[in-house]
Amino acid sequence: MQKAKQISIQIIRQAGAISKRRFDQFVDIKSKDEHGDVVTEVDHLIEDIIIKEIQGAFPDHQIHSEEAGIIGTANDWLWLIDPLDGTNNFAIGLPIFTTSITLMYKREPVLGVVYEPLTDRLFVSALGEGAYCNDQKMEIRSNSNLFKGNVGWIQGHVVQKDEGALRLRQHIDVSFKRMMRLWAPTLQWCMLAKGDIDGIVLYNSEGDDLYSGILMVKEAGGIVIDFDGNPFTGMKDEPYLIACHPDHKQALLKVVKEGLG
C-alpha cells in the first residue's frame, strides 16, 4: 500500500503538470458519444503516462481507465484511472478539473488519490488511515442549518433528461441554498470530505471517477448510502447514492424520497 501510495502521488503530480501547462491552450477536442461528452489529446497523454507507470510497478494488477478501457486480466487488484475528470470544463477553458487514481481490492476502494493542479491541492485517502488535503487531515462537517447549505449533484452521462432525475434535481435545487453541479465529480467528493459542502446526491453515475471520492468521504467520517438508506459497499453498475455527515442522513433521505415522488 505504501508503494502504491507513493507511486500514485508521484505520477498524479506529473499528470497535473501536463494539464496545467496545456490548460486554456488550443486542444484537439473530439466528440466521445451521442450525449455530447468529449475527449482531448490531454486525456490520452495523461492516461498513457499513468498506465505505463502502474504497469511497471504492478505488472500483475488489472487497470481500467476511462479512455483505454480494461487492461490486463481480472484479479483482486484493480486500478481505476480518470486522467482528466472534468474534460468538458477543460475543453471550454473552465478551471475545474482533476486527475483521479483509485486502487481497488476485491471490489472495495483501498487507496484514492485526486489532484487539482490549478490550486495545487492533493487529496489522498487510504483505507483506515484517514483522508488528507495537502497533508492536512480532513473531517466532514455537520451543518446546524443544513437547508441553508450546499449540496452537490452528480449524474451519469446516460441519464440526460431522465424524468426522475429532473424531478429530483429540481427539488434539491429549491430545498437548499445552492445545488452544485461541477461536471467534475471527484472534486465534489473531495469538497464534501473537506467540509466545504454539506452533501452529495448521485444519480446513476458509475465510473472511474467514483470510488476515490467514496473512500475520501468515508475516511473523513462521512457516510455513503443508497436511496433506501443502506450503506453502499462494493461496485455497482447503476449507483444511486447519498453522501453526507451521519447527522444529515435522515434529512437528505427525506429530501430524495420527496423529490422522487
186 neighbors 87 (Cβ within 8 angstroms): no
CA–CA dist 174, 167 (Å, integer)? 11
DSSP 248: G
Q: What is the pLDDT of residue 45?
A: 93
CATH code for the structural domain at 2-137: 3.30.540.10
208 is in an annotated binding site: no
Q: What is the pLDDT of residue 95?
A: 97
**Same CATH fold, 146-260 and 2-137?**
no
pTM, entire model: 0.94
- Mapping DSSP to helix (H, G, I), strand (E, B) and coil, where does residue 63 land? strand
- Mapping DSSP to helix (H, G, I), strand (E, B) and coil, where does residue 122 land? strand
Mean pLDDT rounded to a whole number for the chain = 95
pLDDT tens string 52-68: 999 999 999 999 998 88
84 is in an annotated binding site: yes
237 is in an annotated binding site: no
Measure CA 9 to chain center.
Answer: 16
pLDDT tens string 6-36: 999 999 999 999 999 999 986 677 776 665 5
Q: What is the pLDDT of residue 34?
A: 60
Q: What is the pLDDT of residue 235?
A: 96
Domain boundaries of the chain, sorted by first residue? 2-137, 146-260
pLDDT tens string 142-194: 999 999 999 999 999 889 889 999 999 999 999 999 999 999 999 999 999 99
209 is in an annotated binding site: yes
Query: Is 80 exceeded by the pLDDT of residue 137?
Result: yes
60 is in an annotated binding site: no
63 neighbors 79 (Cβ within 8 angstroms): yes
Cell 478501457 maps to which residue?
Answer: 69
245 neighbors 221 (Cβ within 8 angstroms): yes
DSSP 72: S
CA–CA dist 13, 19 (Å, integer)? 10
CATH code for the structural domain at 146-260: 3.40.190.80
